[in-house]
Structure 1
Amino acid sequence: MAGITLGGNPINTIGNLPKVGEKALDFKLKTVELKEKSLADYAGKNIILNIFPSVDTGVCAQSVREFNKKASELENTVVLCISRDLPFAQARFCGAEGIENVEMLSDFEDGSFGKDYQVTISDSAFKNLHSRAIVIIDTEGKIAYTEQVSEIGSEPNYTTALEAL
């Protein structure tokens, strides 16, 4: 399990992020239109998974904004912003913020993405939400980069993540 912090207090995830070089696990997540998406829908593209607890928190919202800015400059790359928020909340946020360059996906149904990618928080007030993490999947479907952000209230290292592409 990954030891992280929430407001400086220790909390844990159910495991560790996949290892670089491993084949990325498939997933089934819902779009803001309640359609199902899987890893196969993005075959042949670089995929940035921007994983976080809730778009209704400041740092999570900022990560979506930041990747939205950067995504328009990336070739053959899609940014998937993944949380357990309901698709309706994700759609509301994107509409209010003018977010158009990233795709919001929800793990609200059963949390299987969080379990498979080991980002489900196992304790604290955030239990069963996702930790803040970045996972990059290359065009061949292999893990190219991961970052488990050690403090939930901190932003990921955007520069290092984008350099991994």
Structure 2
Amino acid sequence: MKKPVQVAGHALEVGQQAPMVKLINPELKPIQLGGDQDKVQVIATVVSLNTPVCDAEAIRLNKIAQRYPEVQVTIVSKDLPFEDAKFKKQNRLNSVEFASDYRSNDFGKLYGTSIESSVLQGLDSRTIYVIDKNGKVSYREVVEEISTPPSYQALEQAIQHTI
């Protein structure tokens, strides 16, 4: 029997301002996610790109990002930037961005995605946020069972509604 994971803090609610967070990209450069960026952002957190569900999610999100080039789609994990770069290159993912929260866990704390129980403690849960151009959360999906993919259809509807 599968059990939902428990996360530290609370996931942001629709309508809340998404905090600005600094993360590290595959080139080891700092990037900022969230906040008022004057563009629609999709931020998806995954446990690790080294798992089948997360691997498939990254590939699927890249396809969605190809359909919406005006939207910034970023996958956040605790994977090292080297792994992000390797995964991106091996899978030829050029429409989605990767960001690592391995240094500070700030994203996990502020967005309520950091797993606090189970053998996955310290990693991020499977969550998707859509943030509008003004930095407000317009959509959120917290996947209760970590081995279940998110609803891609609901995500695309949220993107279409937000752009």
User: Shorter-chain TM-score category?
Assistant: over 0.9
1:27 to 9, 13, 21: 21
Matched, 1:152 2:152: no
Matched, 1:99 2:93: yes
Matched with 2:41 is: 47
Matched with 2:2 is: 8
Q: TM-score, normalised by structure 1?
A: 0.92
1:162 to 151, 156, 161: 156
Runs of at least 4 residues off by over 6 Å: none
Separation in 2, partners of 1:87, 1:164: 29
Matched with 1:3 is: none
1:67 to 52, 61, 66: 61
Matched, 1:136 2:126: no
Separation in 2, partners of 1:149, 1:10: 8
Separation in 1, partners of 2:69, 2:4: 38
Query: CA offsets per residue over residues 3-46 of structure 1, 9 Å max, x none?
Result: xxxx7034311132101111110100000001001137981111
Q: Which runs of 5+ in 2 are unaligned?
A: none
Query: CA offsets per residue over residues 109-143 of structure 1, 9 Å max, x none?
Result: 01111011011000111000000000110011100
Q: Structure 1 counterpart of 2:134, which letter?
A: E
RMSD between superposed Cα atoms in Å: 1.5
2:30 to 16, 22, 36: 36
Separation in 2, partners of 1:116, 1:150: 19
- Secondary structure, counterpart of 1:162 in structure 2: helix
Change in 2 beyond 3 A, CA 1:41/1:32: farther
What's the % identity of the aligned pairs? Answer: 33
Q: TM-score, normalised by structure 2?
A: 0.93
Q: Structure 1 counterpart of 2:63, which letter?
A: K
Q: Structure 2 counterpart of 1:155, which letter?
A: P
Q: CA deviation at 1:162?
A: 1.4
Q: Structure 1 counterpart of 2:119, which letter?
A: A
